[in-house]
A and B are shown apart, each in its own frame.
Chain A
Amino acid sequence: MFEIFRNMTASRRQTLVQVLTYMLFCAAILIFPLFLDNDFLLNRYARYLVLGMVTMALSLSWGYAGILNLGQALSFGLGSYAMAMALKLRTVPVHTGAGGLPDFMVWNNVEKLPWFWEPFYSLGLAILAGIFVPVILAVVLGWFMFRGRITGVFVAIITLANLVVVNLLIIDQQRFTGGFNGITDLAQLEFFGFEFDAYSKSTYYLVAISLSLCLFGALALTKSKAGLILQAIRDHEERVRFFGYDVAVYQIMAMSVSAAIAGIAGMLYTVVMEFASPTFLSVPLSLSIVVWCAVGGRQSLLGATIGAIVVAGMQGALSESEAFLDTWMLIMGAIFVLVVLFLPNGLAGLIDMLARKAFGRGRHRKSDGPASDIIPTETAKSP
């Protein structure tokens, strides 16, 4: 077994180690509930996993394709509203008008369910909407940006502005969206006979399994030729065009896959939180996602996921403890500054570096090609 491992090329060895690490992480989050019999805490950890998922989606577009999407929360929020609308229509009406109209519509004197709410009677359609509405928005926005060869900081500004517009629109259209209050008092998600109570193991497993599937799906994408081309685009966009690749199409693909994963994460967030609110597609959340991604390591899907879980977890713990009640924001800020200064590739970069030091091998090791006898290398001396 070890012999096989040694005979592989460095890149294949690296892929194998990567897949094993990802499997280890997925196994860890899946067996976690066996050691924790506290539904309140499980709910909280499920929440962190969802945040990890949306951050992983950002790592796909930012870390791999170089698209800094500051409006990542837009896809997330739209997914969350899609799920909330479906669950709202399934509540046992308490304060309803004719035909089970959602309560906030009754308070806002809406008399008939608006047309765009109708499809949400079907859970299947709602889930499709939670994925494809963000995707379609990403494709349209990506089309205009990348066809026009907009790059770098301008992409960040446009996506951020786009997020603000949708956010204001949702707050403004209180009659149809619940405005500032969002959509509350939801039914529990139910499908295939399973009931997903937010404070139960079932919801935690739903989140953990979804995260694992998306993580491996995204990993497969980065290992494909398209993933390689995305990284080439990040490095030197111009050069890729002269090899005959339509750069814009690849960028749109990266952005829409990222949007789809963020949309799924958003739907799960509604299930876990039991409401949807405009804060789910707010600027602060969107910027937090970017920070988590940077801390975890934007060029590693797993790094970004863990970055979000760890930092969001710390935020939660610090903000609730008596001692740090006033200072937790400062502490978080200091951590971000330190990471940005000393760990440009985040926690994943740190682990990569430590592993290389410990084993004397890693991605920067020169392969044992026929020329390695002739070409002096610094690793040739090491055992």
Chain B
Amino acid sequence: MSEHLRIENLSVEFDGFKAVDNLNLSVDKGELRCLIGPNGAGKTTTLDLICGKTRSSKGSIQYRGREIANEPEYLIARAGIGRKFQVPSVFRQLTVRENLEVAYCRHVGVFANVVRSGHSPESDGLEKLADFVGLSGYLDEPAEHLSHGQTQWLEIALLLAQDSELILLDEPTAGMTHQETRKTAEICNRLKGKHTIIVVEHDMGFVREIGEVISVMHQGTVLAEGTVEEISRDERVKEVYLGSVGIDDA
């Protein structure tokens, strides 16, 4: 498999605090990579740096061989990187259908979109997508009427509609029931291979279900990398994150 995303010596500083410090990370095409680590390890900041939300102080991020560090967000998104945020962020005043229409972004130019109808001919596919995440009964409902869990699902549907090559998921299962977590894991496994996915997650059960390679972050840098078994045997990982109880009980 070829290298899809390569991060080299990436650093960012907030008023002297190094949130990410000389981070090196390489993700192959079609891989599903989990990022775990204690609070404040810099996992979310790493995702922010990749998608352009935060500007880095130094280092490089190469996506398909193209340098994307510090490019504007919309160009990074157009290059094929999609992001799900930790706090569900959907368009609350728009209906579920309209949310999906916005996310379905094959054409991004302003002049093309002035003459294009707000209801695309692809809306059949979007309805199937809503059906898939269990929101088909809410297509014409404003997103603000959805529950927290449904909002999470809507955001996952937005990502599927966007159909990015590289998907960044920040705690996708937060606030989900056990069953829903299973379903999210199932979706991740289905996307794997066709899409490259980076997941930040705390739920170890979820990580075990989907994870092939896990990168453990600590103090802004990668501490260890390997399979679930390798990670759970690693003494340093136990020390900083998992405690003496080990990964199986976390």
Contacts and interface: CB of A to CB of B under 8 A. Distances in A.
Interface of A: 9-12, 221, 223-229, 231-232, 234-236, 238-247, 249-250, 253, 363-367, 369-372, 374-375, 377
Contact of A235 (B75, B91, B138): B91
A11 B74 contact: no
Nearest to B105: A243
6 contacts: A9-B139, A9-B140, A239-B85, A244-B74, A244-B75, A244-B78
A11 B97 contact: yes
Contacts of B90: 236, 239
Contacts of B240: none
A367 B89 contact: no
Contacts of A224: 113-118
Given A240-B102, A242-B83, A10 B120 contact: no
B93 A243 contact: no
Contacts of B53: 238, 242
Which size class do B's interface residues fall under?
A: 35 or more
A250 B110 contact: yes
Interface of B: 51, 53, 72-75, 77-78, 82-83, 85, 89-95, 97-99, 101-103, 105, 107-108, 110, 113-120, 131, 134, 136-142, 145, 162
A239 to B, nearest CB: 5
Contacts of A242: 51, 53, 73-74, 77, 82-83
A244 B103 CA distance: 9
Given A11-B95, A223-B118, A246-B72, 13 more contacts: A10-B140, A223-B117, A228-B94, A228-B102, A231-B91, A232-B99, A235-B94, A242-B74, A366-B137, A369-B136, A370-B131, A371-B136, A375-B137
A233 to B, nearest CB: 9
8 smallest A-B Cβ distances: which pairs? A244-B77, A226-B113, A10-B140, A371-B137, A241-B73, A369-B136, A235-B91, A244-B78
A229 B113 contact: yes
Contacts of B72: 241, 246
A315 B140 CA distance: 39
Contacts of B99: 232
Contacts of A231: 91, 93-94, 98
A235 B105 contact: no
A262 B140 CA distance: 33
Contact of A234 (B73, B93, B117, B131): B93
Of the listed residues B91, B105, B120, B134, the one surrounded by the most CB atoms of chain A closer than 10 A to its CB is: B91
Nearest to A380: B137
A161 B77 CA distance: 35
Contacts of A369: 131, 136-139
Contacts of B139: 9, 367, 369
Nearest to B114: A226
